[in-house]
């Protein structure tokens, strides 16, 4: 018989890390089951469509962004000292006696809601020792996360979690209202034959990303000597879930546009939780030039480039960047973005062979 999340926590009662976060994790799970219901019934309850407001990033909020944020706050505010949400500019005060912080994206991929494509919730739990400001508590590197996970609202609602030692997936059972363990010990194969990237941005990419994707697209006729499939859902939860179950690599790189010169995805709410999950499943997560979990955050809504998934493939992509820094003259400009100046880069085949032969 499969274990419920509560039973799983009890069975692993000797795991001090899991026991410390258990009450808050169960609060998050409760919120996710409620968000799943809100998403499922949005059209029937006239809760679909734009809310008419923008979030701190200047992105148009969907009604369900606001509803999901409110659900998560209500379910967890008494269980955490401080909350930080992608949808809210400042941190949210919680229970001052609690010793944990929760950071979350209440509804990732919400632009897909109107066309009924999978969306999700992403979260991270951090230690919140007494002393220091509430915001400072949230500005910890990803290596200090105690727990990370996401809920996927698709044909089935799933909760996927890690405390750093393995990744487990729980499926929501409507009849009992419980999350039941259905996908234990998820692992990512080190090699990949699928990549996920928004190819419509190709003309804006850094040269190393352009070279990597070009080599993949040449398939068995090129230097990679095997064919690749491309995927893109525009929902990070859906993309990472597929990688955990089927393998592959996900890329949302920085590019030459002003709004995305430092990346598109948020470090605290999206990159760090997903990086912890991917690493715990045997994968890797990088900006292309450094480990994602090693970044020291400087602001709540900081953006970063994200490359994650199959360990060998991520290392290979980092090789394109390492070679590019010497061959192409890529450099950080004075505003902290990416300088796109290239001086007649070598052919893709020459680049690949130089790095990996």
Q: Enumerate the known binding-site residues.
A: 86, 105, 107-111, 198, 264, 270
The candidate with the shortest Cα–Cα distance to 223, out of 325, 328, 320, is 320
Binding annotation for substrate? 108-111, 198, 264
Place of tokens 């809601």: 113
Tokens of 109: 């991929």
Binding annotation for Mg(2+)? 86, 105, 107-108, 270
Cα 145-148-149 angle, rounded to 5 deg: 170
Place of tokens 């190709």: 202
DSSP state letters, 215-242: HHHHGGGSTT-S--EEE--S-HHHHHHH
Residue 181 CA to residue 158 CA, distance in Å, equals: 9
Residue 212 CA to residue 215 CA, distance in Å, equals: 5
Residue 277 CA to residue 353 CA, distance in Å, equals: 32
Residue 57 CA to residue 206 CA, distance in Å, equals: 23
Which residues partner with 149 through β-bridges?
123, 161
The length of the chain is 357
Q: Are 80 and 94 in contact (CB under 8 A)?
A: yes
Residue 278 CA to residue 266 CA, distance in Å, equals: 16
SS3 state at 287: coil
Residue 277 CA to residue 309 CA, distance in Å, equals: 10
Residue 123 CA to residue 274 CA, distance in Å, equals: 9
């Amino acid at each position: 018989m499969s274990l419920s999340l509560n039973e799983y926590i009890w069975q692993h009662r000797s795991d001090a890390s899991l026991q410390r976060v258990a009450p808050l994790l169960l609060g998050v799970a409760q919120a996710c089951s409620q968000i799943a219901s809100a998403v499922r019934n949005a059209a029937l309850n006239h809760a679909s469509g734009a809310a008419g407001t923008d979030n701190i990033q200047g992105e148009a909020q969907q009604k369900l962004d606001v509803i999901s944020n409110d659900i998560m706050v209500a379910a967890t505010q008494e269980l955490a000292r401080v909350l930080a949400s992608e949808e809210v500019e400042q941190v949210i005060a919680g229970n001052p006696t609690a010793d944990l912080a929760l950071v979350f994206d209440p509804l990732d991929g919400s632009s897909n809601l109107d066309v009924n494509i999978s969306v999700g919730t992403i979260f991270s739990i951090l230690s919140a020792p007494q002393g220091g400001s509430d915001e400072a508590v949230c500005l910890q590197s990803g290596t200090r996360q105690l727990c990370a996970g996401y809920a996927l609202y698709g044909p089935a609602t799933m909760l996927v979690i890690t405390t750093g030692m393995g990744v487990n997936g729980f499926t929501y059972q409507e009849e009992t209202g419980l999350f039941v363990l259905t996908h234990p010990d998820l692992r990512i194969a080190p090699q990949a034959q699928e990549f996920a990237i928004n190819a419509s941005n190709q003309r804006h990419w850094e040269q190393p990303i352009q070279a990597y994707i070009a080599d993949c697209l040449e398939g068995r006729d090129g230097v990679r000597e095997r064919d690749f499939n491309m995927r893109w859902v525009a929902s990070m939860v859906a993309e990472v879930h597929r990688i955990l179950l089927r393998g592959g690599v996900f890329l949302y790189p920085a590019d030459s546009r002003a709004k995305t010169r430092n990346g598109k995805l948020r470090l605290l709410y999206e990159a760090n939780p997903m990086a912890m999950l991917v690493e715990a499943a045997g994968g890797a997560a990088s900006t292309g030039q450094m480990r994602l979990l090693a970044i020291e955050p400087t602001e709540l809504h900081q953006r970063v480039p994200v490359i994650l998934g199959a360990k060998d493939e991520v290392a290979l992509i980092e090789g394109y960047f390492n070679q590019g820094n010497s061959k192409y003259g890529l450099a950080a400009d004075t505003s902290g973005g990416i300088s796109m100046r290239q001086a007649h880069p070598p052919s893709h085949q020459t680049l690949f062979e130089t790095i990996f032969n």
